């Protein structure tokens, strides 16, 4: 991956120092001393122009553009210019290259899994440094799992924004044709396998369950059982040094993947960047799929526009992600907004102001109408969202899945070598699905590869 190669080059040369730089003892140790230049904007020549890099597409990008336009019109101190970098990997690759060239934005949307890597670049202003000087942000009003994901120690590193999680989609017409209850989705992996096999055997669709090589599935399933994926409190009490992938929870998950591969009730669609698993629901390729709630708004709109003949939004069910039995819960995914410390003080404050605007209750409510999780409980009482949830109750499911308390598993893992760990998990999924390797062997190989990647990464940045 280009992003991985670029960042490997960066950390091999040593972290760069920025306006909010960390001390030599490490970014976590020095986070409390980081400064946020609140007040600099008032002293600057206005308006201050800032650039935000993002990776939103289709309806999500249209809504972001509307937010930026409204923000620019609401005040005269800041003008936001949006630049679409296409994908999270493209954004990370360009950002890491910019650490050498100086071509950096003032605010950047990064995938949730980039948290440790962004900390290690030592180029960001921790969001908590700004919030400490601005009581109007209302940090305590944010959902605990949302807040916890981007926090290590007492430092909130980014402003959470496009928060999503996994949900299950199923074609109700396919369920009916297969003799299944169209209003009863699978809630466990055993039920998912049984329903998928029934769809396959009856010919209601070519396969029962369409899935992709998506490590986010595995991360969610581990969280449901309360199982960390790395040591040191899932990388939250200290930097992760070892993976814990070869555990009972993931062994049960890989046994499920092996079973659907063996009897043909599950079919893979390849890359995690593909949405062919969702498209299969409309083309007769499958009856069930799991994917991000962030796709809900676009999917509903496409169905309403007649993207698939004979299918309307009410024909595709949406429910909480089925998984292994356990006492954990869903973790968040998506992305967050990082304030770049290489900008001038005035631009840093301006970037914080726009990030704060996007995370405020009215914008959070509007954003959630597309299928994202409202960051704040207060947003669930805003008419634009309550009205939308009344019309399309499936849009409320992502919120319900993550509205509970946070712990080390549901807060999510913090891993510097996250892309490489995910690559190891993807290879393990392929080994089970294509090579019919045993779940135990696949996970042992994945853990060994992940441990090597984590050790190599840590050796470069510490």
Residue 323 lies in a domain: yes
CA atoms within 13 A on the CB side of 146: 30
Q: How far apart are CA 219 and CA 413, in angstroms?
A: 9
Provide the pairing of β-strand 48-54 with 78-84: parallel
Residue 13 pLDDT: 32
Domain count, the chain: 2
Residue 295 pLDDT: 84
Residues 175 and 317 in one domain: yes
Express as a percent the part of the chain with pLDDT over 90: 80
Residues 189 and 308 in one domain: yes
Region 84-93: what's the mean pLDDT?
93
Banded pLDDT at 74 (limits 50, 70, 90)? very high
**Percent of the chain that is helix, strand, coil (3-state, to 5):** 50, 15, 35
Residue 184's contacts (CB-CB under 8 Å, 6 or more residues apart) are none
Residue 411 lies in a domain: no
Residues 199 and 149 in one domain: no
C-alpha dist (Å) from residue 354 to 72, 247, 289, 303, 341: 9, 42, 35, 33, 15
Region 196-211: what's the mean pLDDT?
97
Residue 153 lies in a domain: yes
Express each pLDDT in 11-64 by its tens digit: 333 333 233 333 333 445 444 457 899 999 999 999 999 999 999 988 899 999
Residue 26 pLDDT: 46
Residue 135 lies in a domain: yes
Residues 156 and 173 in one domain: no
Residue 409 lies in a domain: no
Residue 258 pLDDT: 96
Q: What angle do CA 42, 47, 53 make, to 5 degrees?
A: 105
CATH number at residue 296: 3.40.190.10
Domain that holds residue 383: 2-164+332-402
For residues 278 and 212, the answer to whether their CB atoms sit within 8 Å is no
Residues 365 and 278 in one domain: no
C-alpha dist (Å) from residue 137 to 15, 369, 378: 30, 22, 13
Residue 408 lies in a domain: no
Residue 273 pLDDT: 74
Express each pLDDT in 296-335 by its tens digit: 888 888 888 888 988 999 999 999 999 998 878 899 999 9
pTM, two decimal places: 0.87
Express each pLDDT in 334-353 by its tens digit: 999 999 999 999 999 999 99
Residues 70 and 148 in one domain: yes
Banded pLDDT at 83 (limits 50, 70, 90)? very high
Residue 338 lies in a domain: yes
Residues 316 and 359 in one domain: no
Residue 325 lies in a domain: yes
Residue 2 pLDDT greater than 70, yes or no:
no
Residues 156 and 184 in one domain: no
| DSSP state, residue 142 | B
Question: In a 3-state reduction of DSSP, which class is residue 33?
Answer: helix
Residues 223 and 241 in one domain: yes
Residues 155 and 173 in one domain: no
Provide the pairing of β-strand 48-54 with 107-111: parallel
Residue 379 pLDDT: 97
Residue 24 pLDDT: 30
Residues 121 and 184 in one domain: no
Q: How far apart are CA 280 and CA 282, in angstroms?
A: 5
Residues 362 and 378 in one domain: yes
Q: What is the C-alpha radius of gyration for the chain, rounded to an integer number of angstroms?
A: 22
Write down the mean pLDDT value for the chain.
90
Which of 356, 376, 402 terminates a domain? The answer is: 402
Residue 424 pLDDT greater than 90, yes or no:
yes
């Amino acid at each position: 991956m280009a992003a991985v190669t670029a960042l490997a080059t960066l950390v091999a040369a040593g972290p760069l120092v920025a306006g909010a730089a960390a001390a030599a003892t490490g970014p976590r140790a020095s986070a409390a001393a980081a400064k946020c230049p609140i007040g600099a904007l008032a002293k600057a020549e206005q308006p201050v122009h800032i650039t935000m890099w993002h990776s939103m597409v289709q309806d999500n990008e249209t809504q972001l553009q509307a937010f930026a336009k409204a923000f620019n019109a609401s005040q005269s101190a800041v003008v936001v210019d949006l630049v679409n970098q296409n994908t999270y990997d493209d954004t990370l690759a360009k950002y890491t290259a910019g650490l050498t060239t100086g071509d950096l934005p003032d605010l950047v949307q990064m995938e949730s899994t980039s948290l440790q890597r962004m900390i290690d670049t030592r180029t960001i202003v921790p969001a908590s440094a700004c919030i400490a000087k601005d009581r109007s942000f209302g940090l305590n009003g944010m959902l605990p799992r949302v807040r916890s994901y981007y926090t290590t120690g007492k430092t909130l590193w980014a402003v959470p924004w496009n928060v999503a999680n996994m949900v299950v989609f199923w074609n109700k017409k396919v369920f009916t044709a297969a003799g299944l209850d169209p209003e009863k989705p699978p809630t466990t992996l055993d039920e998912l396998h049984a329903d998928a096999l029934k769809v396959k055997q009856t010919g209601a669709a070519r396969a029962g369950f369409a899935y992709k090589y998506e490590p986010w599935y595995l991360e969610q399933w581990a969280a449901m059982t309360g199982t960390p994926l790395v040591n040191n409190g899932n990388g939250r009490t200290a930097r992760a040094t070892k993976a814990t992938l070869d555990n009972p929870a993931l062994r049960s998950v890989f046994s499920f993947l092996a079973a659907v591969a063996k009897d043909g009730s599950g079919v893979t669609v390849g890359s995690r960047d593909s949405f062919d698993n969702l498209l299969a629901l409309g083309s007769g390729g499958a009856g069930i799929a799991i994917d991000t709630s962030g796709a809900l708004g676009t999917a509903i709109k496409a169905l309403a526009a007649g993207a698939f003949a004979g299918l309307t939004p009410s024909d595709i069910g949406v429910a909480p992600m089925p998984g292994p039995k356990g006492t954990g819960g869903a973790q968040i995914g998506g992305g967050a907004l990082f304030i770049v410390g290489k900008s001038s003080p005035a631009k840093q404050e301006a970037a914080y102001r726009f990030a704060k605007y996007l995370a405020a209750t009215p914008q959070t409510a509007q954003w959630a109408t597309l299928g994202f999780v409202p960051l704040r409980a207060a947003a669930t009482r805003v008419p634009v969202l309550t009205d939308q949830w009344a019309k399309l109750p499936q849009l409320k499911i992502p919120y319900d899945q993550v509205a509970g308390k946070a712990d080390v598993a549901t807060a999510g893992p913090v891993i510097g070598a996250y892309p490489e760990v995910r690559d190891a998990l993807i290879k393990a999924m392929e080994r089970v699905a294509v090579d019919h390797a045993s779940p135990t062997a696949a996970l042992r190989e994945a853990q060994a590869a992940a441990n090597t990647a984590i050790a190599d990464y840590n050796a470069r940045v510490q």
